[in-house]
A and B are shown apart, each in its own frame.
Chain A
């Protein structure tokens, strides 16, 4: 077996799929895409105006750009810029009909971000359960070495 083959045989790591929640296909590029998407999602969510826009869209099923801009003390071009960032991150869709642009929430990236965070939550919630059980067992042991 050539070293190349050996390398190929050892490199695929099936355990990646669980924590990345992605299809197995080209795992590495998928991972990179996944991380880039997450980065974009989080970057889009950083801005309070953009979060307020998303919150508005969550309340209504859809809204025009004018409606979305209304609550903000900023000019329309600034709102359009925020909408572009949200659209690039896949958090909203914009459909144009005549002169009206209708904006809708697209929940997928948010779900992905949630799933990413909940991986850690699951990891630690499970670990802490076991930690508690172990420490309580230790506490119940006959005393002596502890103060």
Chain B
């Protein structure tokens, strides 16, 4: 199945990283691909709770995503469903899983956005594992920074 994985090391304790990811206060500080502001950040980080984030990019466009927390284990794991509001950019629901591991310099974060091809996957129940080896290999090249 199509997924995107990013691994990164952060010089901060897992509990600090975890709170940055799961609290509205934290989310407001970093969510979004460029220096544009977060306009709305809501988070109820417990299983079944929801989050909603709206951000503006430097080009002036606004985007909103929201979903449900599927699993929350402080400070090591968060799983949440993901959907762009209005389904404009991508109408399908996908899944975001963030795993935090304590390492000597702080935290190793493994970030996986999966089920990116949910619709297609449904019609091809089993075929997906390793289906896009080539595409994934491209990403593997640019992974950890």
Across the interface, do B120 and A126 meet the contact criterion of CB distance under 8 Å?
Answer: no
Q: Is the CB of B120 within 8 A of A127?
A: no
Q: Which partner residue on chain B sits nearest A133 by CB separation?
A: B30
State the CA gap A122–B139 with chains docked (Å): 11
Interface residues as binary, A95-116 with B (CB distance below 8 Å gives 1, 0 otherwise): 0000000000000000001101
Q: How many pairs of A and B residues are in contact by the CB < 8 Å rule? A: 128
Is A135 engaged at the interface, CB distance under 8 Å to the other chain? yes
Cβ of B123 and Cβ of A127 under 8 Å apart?
no
Query: Are A134's CB and B20's CB within 8 A?
Result: yes
Let me know if B12 is at the binding interface, CB within 8 A: yes
CB of A20 closer than 8 Å to a CB of B: yes
- On whether the beta carbons of B111 and A128 are closer than 8 Å, the reply is yes
Interface check B10, CB cutoff 8 A = yes
Name the prevailing secondary structure of the A interface residues.
helix
CB neighbours (8 Å) of B30 from chain A are 127, 130-131, 133-134
Interface membership of A125, Cβ < 8 A: yes
Q: Whole-angstrom distance between the alpha carbons of A107 and B24 in the complex?
A: 42
Interface size class, chain B: 35 or more
Return chain B residues, CB-CB under 8 Å to A7: none
Query: Sorted from nearest, which 9 A-B pairs have the closest CB atoms?
Result: A126-B33, A15-B61, A139-B12, A130-B30, A135-B12, A19-B89, A46-B127, A131-B30, A134-B29
Q: What are 26 A-B contacts with C-beta separation under 8 Å?
A: A14-B61, A18-B57, A19-B63, A19-B89, A35-B119, A38-B117, A39-B119, A42-B132, A43-B120, A43-B124, A45-B132, A117-B4, A117-B116, A121-B4, A121-B142, A124-B6, A124-B113, A128-B111, A130-B32, A131-B10, A132-B10, A132-B11, A136-B11, A139-B11, A139-B12, A146-B13
- Chain A residues within 8 Å of B, Cβ to Cβ: 13-16, 18-20, 31, 35, 38-39, 42-43, 45-47, 51, 55, 113-114, 116-117, 119-136, 138-139, 146-147
